[in-house]
């Protein structure tokens, strides 16, 4: 029924005077069953195959870019080494923020992780590290270790001689130090 102002319009559509189960079966259930079967047995596997082929093709294209990015990151880390040493000395003297370990990549796969301790420490300023809310692959010393997979950044750091640890997804911002990152010490360690 359609109502416009004070007028009402009613459209009755009648296919049959009697509801027949066979007509309902042929008109609704069978087409839905056929569509669902085609969707799950033909269309989805075909689309998944196309997606896998696309990822494989892009992975091959990106393989050379990955090697180039890996070499650039290695060179950048070599150039950062004096800055890293100076930054660590300054932070240690004042009990500030020292990055003990930092790893970036796909966790659970050793060949898809890179050590980013030096680049992360070089980003520390005045005992603070702030990384923006976007992918970390654009940072100097980082690169995309695995195209199309979710990556994380794990940072283990010391602040005021207390160990902290945090793991974030690639697109998340990072602000350290934070009290919530503090690693709980056992009773035997705190009594020593």
The predicted-structure confidence for 129-163, as pLDDT tens digits, reads as follows 999 999 898 899 999 888 778 999 999 999 999 99
pLDDT value of position 110: 66
pLDDT of residue 65: 85
What are the residues whose beta carbons fall under 8 Å from the beta carbon of 134, sequence distance 6 or more?
171
Cα–Cα distance measured from residue 21 to residue 117, given in angstroms and rounded to the nearest whole number? 70
Task: Report strand pairing: 152-159 vs 162-169.
Answer: antiparallel
The pLDDT, as a whole number, for residue 165 is 96
How many CB atoms lie under 10 A from the CB of residue 8?
Answer: 9
Structure tokens at 74: 């290695």
Task: Note if the bond before 177 is cis, omega within 30 degrees.
Answer: yes
Residue 95 makes CB contacts below 8 A (sequence gap 6+) with 159, 160, 161
Q: Any idea of the CA torsion for 16, 17, 19, 23, to the nearest 10 degrees? A: -30
Give residue-wise pLDDT tens across range 107-130. 887 678 999 999 999 999 999 999
Q: What are the Cα distances from residue 29, in Å, to 7, 15, 43?
A: 37, 17, 20
Residue 185 is given by DSSP the state P
Residues of the chain with pLDDT under 70: 15-16, 110, 186-192
- Whether the CB-CB separation of 95 and 160 falls below 8 Å is answered with yes
The phi-psi region of residue 5 (left if phi > 0; otherwise alpha if psi is between -120 and 50; otherwise beta) is: left
Can you tell me the distance from the alpha carbon of 136 to that of 69, in angstroms, rounded to the nearest whole number? 13
Asked whether the beta carbons of 111 and 131 are under 8 A apart, the reply is: no
């Amino acid at each position: 029924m359609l109502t416009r102002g004070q007028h009402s319009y009613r459209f009755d559509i009648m296919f049959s005077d009697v509801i027949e189960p066979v007509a309902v079966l042929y008109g609704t259930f069978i087409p839905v069953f056929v569509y669902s079967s085609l969707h799950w047995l033909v269309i989805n596997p075909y689309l998944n195959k196309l997606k896998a082929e696309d990822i494989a093709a892009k992975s091959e294209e990106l393989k050379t870019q990955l090697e180039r990015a890996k070499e650039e990151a290695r060179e950048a880390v070599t150039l950062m080494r004096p800055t890293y040493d100076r930054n660590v000395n300054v932070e240690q003297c004042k009990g500030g923020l020292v990055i003990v370990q930092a790893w970036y990549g796909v966790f659970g796969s050793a060949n898809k992780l890179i050590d980013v301790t030096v680049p992360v420490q070089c980003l520390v300023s005045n005992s603070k590290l702030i990384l923006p809310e976007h992918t970390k692959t654009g940072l100097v010393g980082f690169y995309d270790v695995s195209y199309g997979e979710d990556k994380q950044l794990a940072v283990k750091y010391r602040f005021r001689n207390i160990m902290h640890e945090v793991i974030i997804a690639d697109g998340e911002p990072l602000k350290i130090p934070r009290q919530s990152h503090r690693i709980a010490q056992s009773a035997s360690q705190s009594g020593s």
